[in-house]
Amino acid sequence: MKLLSGGANQALARAVARELAVELVDARVARFPDGEAEVVVDPDLRGQTAYLVQPTCPPVDAHLVELLMLADAVRRCGTETVVAVVPYLGYARQDRRTEPGQPVGIRVVGDVLHAAGIDRLVVVDPHTRDLEAIFSVAVEPATAVPLLAEALRGGLPDDAVVVAPDLGAIKLAQRYAALLDLPVALVRKTRLSGDEVRADHVVGDVAGRHPIVIDDMISTGGTIAAAVAVLREAGSTSDVTIAATHGVLTPEASKTLGELPIRRLLVTDTIPAPEDSDLELDVVSVAPLLADAIRRLEADRRLDDLEAFH
Ligand code: R5P
């Protein structure tokens, strides 16, 4: 097998390579003067399986195109199989049309991944589990929830409660709650626009309890902030623990989350931490999880019985 990295998260790709005790294949990912992606890989790949590590984190479109160029490059070198390891998959929130005139963004992404010659896709906690139905490419979904739950376990206050900040996060919250042996509560949220949400109701007992608000991703921080406000109104303790797989963390998130009484903020390294943020992040690495997934694919073993995949 051969492991290559795009430009999106080379630190993670290097960590996966260390876990697997392999060298990353030389790949140059740069930009032509007009901004087009320029990709050149070491062409010694004939008959191999190429694993391309490239989350499509911001700038999402640029990183997606780099992935497509890498896939085409390795395909032209005679690789047998191309596996895209995309721990954070952008556009997954656009899995349905909410008003006429919109595209189904994730469907378009699935089509271009397939067209670029990708055979298989490893993703971590994708926003939609419908990927398998939408994509022609075979999807291997992994989850970082057990890793994050393990990191949360030490030093949790008594009477904690796992909180889903919206209905879409309820299954995720139940997985955390089962691993941590805690109850679950749910916040009712309405999304008004890409960067505006309203939360107005809590289902479940949070009075006097320490909330652990979990989500698949934090982008602007609006969802978490709205949940924290309504939890306080419902009588939760004043400080809060937050855990999310993908710290997209737009510049706006630093300000929004910076104003919250955060006890701990956990994310994984599917996305590099923002360089210019004052947020104190506890970062849990998914490198062992991705390395395990690759080892299993190499050994033609199932992924769905891997503990970290449930
Ligand atoms: C939405 O359904 C997702 O699961 C997240 O809750 C959302 O994308 C987070 O975005 P933001 O931080 O901008 O509220």
Answer yes or no: is the C-beta of 247 below 6 A from any ligand 1 atom.
no
Which atom of ligand 1 lies at the shortest distance from residue 197's CA? 14
Positions marked catalytic? 189
- What's the gap in Å between 304 CA and the centre of ligand 1? 26
Q: CB within 8 A of 124, min separation 6: which ones?
A: 87, 88, 141, 142, 143, 144, 245, 246, 268, 270, 286, 289, 290
- What's the gap in Å between 251 CA and the centre of ligand 1? 15
Which atom of ligand 1 lies at the shortest distance from residue 218's CA? 12
- Whose alpha carbon is nearest atom 5 of ligand 1? 217
Which atom of ligand 1 lies at the shortest distance from residue 225's CA? 14
Answer yes or no: is the C-beta of 125 below 6 A from any ligand 1 atom.
no
Paired sense of beta strands 160-164 and 138-142, if any: unpaired
Identify the CA nearest to 173 among candidates 245, 258, 228, 226. 245
Answer yes or no: is the C-beta of 166 below 6 A from any ligand 1 atom.
yes
The model's pTM: 0.95
Which atom of ligand 1 lies at the shortest distance from residue 222's CA? 14
- What's the gap in Å between 218 CA and the centre of ligand 1? 6
* CA–CA gap between residue 94 and residue 60 (Å, rounded): 13
Identify the CA nearest to 109 among candidates 56, 34, 187. 56
Which atom of ligand 1 lies at the shortest distance from residue 169's CA? 4
* CA–CA gap between residue 279 and residue 150 (Å, rounded): 22
Identify the CA nearest to 88 among candidates 173, 196, 8, 174. 8
Burial environment of residue 145 by CB neighbours within 10 A (0 to 12, 13 to 18, 19 or more): buried
Provide the edge-to-edge strand list for the sheet that holds 81-86: 2-5, 49-53, 81-86, 120-124, 138-142
- What's the gap in Å between 114 CA and the centre of ligand 1? 27
- What's the gap in Å between 223 CA and the centre of ligand 1? 6
* Alpha-carbon distances of 287 from 14, 16, 33, rounded to whole Å: 9, 5, 33
Answer yes or no: is the C-beta of 105 below 6 A from any ligand 1 atom.
no
- What's the gap in Å between 39 CA and the centre of ligand 1? 32
Answer yes or no: is the C-beta of 119 below 6 A from any ligand 1 atom.
no
* Alpha-carbon distances of 288 from 10, 20, 308, rounded to whole Å: 15, 9, 10
Q: What is the pLDDT along the chain (310 residues), one digit of tens a residue?
A: 999 999 999 999 999 999 999 999 999 999 999 999 999 999 999 999 999 999 999 999 999 999 999 999 999 999 999 999 999 999 999 999 989 999 999 999 999 999 999 999 999 999 998 898 999 999 999 999 999 999 999 888 989 999 999 999 999 999 999 999 999 999 998 888 877 888 889 999 999 999 999 999 999 999 999 999 999 999 999 999 999 999 999 999 999 999 999 999 999 999 999 988 899 999 999 999 999 999 999 998 877 766 555 4
In this predicted structure, what is the pLDDT of residue 305?
65
Answer yes or no: is the C-beta of 211 below 6 A from any ligand 1 atom.
no
- What's the gap in Å between 277 CA and the centre of ligand 1? 19
Residue to substitute in 217, 249, 267 for testing ligand 1 pocket (most ligand atoms within 8 angstroms of CB): 217
Answer yes or no: is the C-beta of 94 below 6 A from any ligand 1 atom.
no
Answer yes or no: is the C-beta of 90 below 6 A from any ligand 1 atom.
no
Q: CB within 8 A of 60, min separation 6: which ones?
A: 90, 91
